[in-house]
């Protein structure tokens, strides 16, 4: 049974922080259905890493609700090679926005984390309470530490000041607005681009990073946005909530699915000089389901939609 809303978005002033990103863009699309007064601001006007800029913006806008989707994000290689940027920028963005939100009396804040917050060898599927029970995956521990700090900020401001700040932990995402740069992207857009270009050029093979054996869970970003808006309305508690599809696939299987979707008929070559990262990362989504959301589209459907909109 779906819990009754504890927060009504209709008529509220809502700021999507990070609206130019993949997640923020999806939230803006989804929130257009909620009858709220949406506000956004670009980095050219407010640099979220600067505390004074964030404080001035929030003091002038005074939103009722914030979706905190702004973040420095990237795939395994970007995370692994730019640790300072991933740790510093994410910690600053979160701390600035969460503290200033408290100062101006924001009624609801939803912080977006990531399933990489969990220990590398967490039990699968990963329950929310696995947080901080073991060492992190080294390729993304910088980003993970920043995201864990964001969850803890929400909890701390709830405990000390009674703020209704919640945290959602999306799994690996894909969809409109994704990054297709092969050096900094995640695996799914990278494979779509590689397969598309290989098909066009008539290449004999496609290079997949790592062994192909890691397992990942993928969620379409529009499904994520729908789940997060649902949580904003029905959820108010200290513990974060996993948001995933509940299904996993190996990277090799993903590469095969991408090749079939794109129509590339060459072979796969696995470049084991590249890192595998965490071996498995499947969210336990029973809490999300118990809160009344269970709408994830099948990967094959989302992949076809994404390929057509990005390359069709
Ligand atoms: O999506 P991805 O970059 O990030 O890589 P993570 C997932 C898996 O796909 C790894 C493999 O095992 C990669 O080695 N892979 C195969 C590829 N071919 C490719 C390719 O062409 N490009 C990329 N990028 N990967 C990220 C974290 O981890 O997940 C972030 O680094 C964040 O912090 C994000 O949490 C959701 O799933 O390993």
Rg (Cα) of the chain, in Å, rounded? 19
Which atom of ligand 1 is closest in space to residue 75's alpha carbon? 3
Which atom of ligand 1 sits closest to the CA of residue 171?
A: 36
**Which residues lie across from 96 on neighbouring strands?**
none
Q: Show pLDDT as tens, one digit a residue, over the chain (312 residues).
A: 556 678 999 999 999 999 999 999 999 999 999 999 999 999 999 999 999 999 999 999 999 999 999 999 999 999 999 999 999 999 999 999 999 999 999 999 999 999 999 999 999 999 999 999 999 999 999 999 999 999 999 999 999 999 999 999 999 999 999 999 999 999 999 999 999 999 999 999 999 999 999 999 999 999 999 999 999 999 999 999 999 999 999 999 999 999 999 999 999 999 999 999 999 999 999 999 999 999 999 999 999 999 999 998
Predicted pLDDT of residue 1 = 53
β-pairing verdict for 249-250 and 215-216: antiparallel
How much is the pLDDT for 6? 85
Partners of residue 37 on adjacent β-strands: 13
Output b/e per residue, 190-221; b: 16+ Cβ within 10 A.
bbbbbbbebbeeeeeebbbbbbbebbbbbbbb
Atom of ligand 1 nearest to the CA of 277: 38
Tokens 């079939």 map to which residue? 260
Between the CA of 114 and the centroid of ligand 1 the distance, in Å, is 13
Nearest alpha carbon, ligand 1 atom 36: 172
Measured in residues, the chain has a length of 312
Contacts of 60 (CB under 8 A, 6+ apart): none
Task: Assess contact for 116 and 75: CB atoms under 8 A.
Answer: no
Which residues participate in catalysis according to the annotation? 143
- Reported pTM: 0.97
Q: What residue's CA is closest to ligand 1, atom 33?
A: 140
Q: What integer pLDDT is reported at residue 3 of this predicted model?
A: 66
Ligand 1 binding site (Cβ under 6 Å of any ligand atom): 75-77, 79, 114, 116, 139-140, 143, 172, 185-187, 190-191, 208-210, 214, 216, 251, 274-277
User: Do residues 193 and 180 touch, judged by C-beta distance below 8 A?
Assistant: yes
- Nearest residue by C-alpha to atom 16 in ligand 1: 209
Q: Which of 175, 187, 250, 299 to mutate to test the pocket of ligand 1 (most atoms within 8 A of CB)?
A: 187
CA of 210 to the centre of ligand 1 (A): 9
Distance in Å, CA 77 to ligand 1 centroid: 7
Q: Give the span between the Cα atoms of 289 and 133, in whole angstroms.
A: 24
What is the per-residue pLDDT for 269?
98
Task: Give the single-character DSSP code of 6.
Answer: S
Q: Ligand 1 centroid to 185 CA: how many Å?
A: 8
- CA of 300 from ligand 1 middle (Å) equals 19
Q: Which protein residue's CA is at the shortest distance from atom 20 of ligand 1? A: 187
Which residue's alpha carbon is nearest to atom 35 within ligand 1?
Answer: 116
Quote the ligand 1 centre to 32 CA distance (angstroms): 31
Can you give the pLDDT at residue 236? 97
């Amino acid at each position: 049974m779906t819990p009754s809303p504890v927060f009504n978005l209709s008529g509220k002033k809502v700021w999507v922080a990070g609206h130019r990103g993949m997640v923020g863009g999806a939230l803006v699309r989804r929130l257009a259905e909620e009858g709220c007064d949406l506000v956004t601001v670009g980095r050219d006007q407010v640099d979220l890493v600067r505390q004074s800029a964030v404080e001035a913006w929030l003091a002038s806008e005074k939103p009722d609700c914030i979706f905190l989707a702004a973040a420095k994000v990237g795939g395994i290689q970007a995370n692994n090679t730019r640790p300072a940027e991933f740790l510093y920028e994410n910690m600053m963005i979160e701390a600035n926005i969460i503290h200033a939100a408290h100062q101006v009396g924001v009624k609801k804040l939803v912080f977006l984390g990531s399933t990489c917050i969990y220990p590398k060898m967490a039990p699968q599927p990963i329950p929310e309470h696995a947080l901080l029970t073991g060492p992190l995956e080294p390729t993304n521990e910088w980003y993970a530490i920043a995201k864990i700090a964001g969850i803890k900020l929400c909890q701390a401001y709830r405990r000390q000041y009674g703020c209704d700040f919640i945290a959602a932990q999306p799994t690996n995402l894909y969809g409109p607005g994704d990054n297709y740069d092969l050096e900094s992207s995640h695996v799914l857009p990278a494979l779509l681009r590689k397969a598309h270009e290989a098909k066009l050029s008539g290449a004999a093979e496609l290079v997949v990073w790592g062994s192909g054996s890691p397992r990942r869970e993928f969620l379409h970003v529009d499904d994520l946005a729908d789940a997060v808006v649902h949580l904003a309305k029905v959820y108010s508690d200290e513990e974060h909530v996993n948001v995933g599809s509940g299904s996993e696939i190996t990277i090799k299987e993903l590469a095969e699915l991408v090749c079939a979707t794109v129509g590339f008929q060459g072979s796969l070559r696995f470049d084991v000089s590249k890192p595998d990262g965490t071996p498995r990362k499947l969210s336990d989504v029973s809490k999300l389901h118990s809160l009344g959301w269970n709408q994830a589209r099948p990967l094959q459907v989302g992949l076809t939609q994404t390929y057509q909109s990005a390359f069709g």
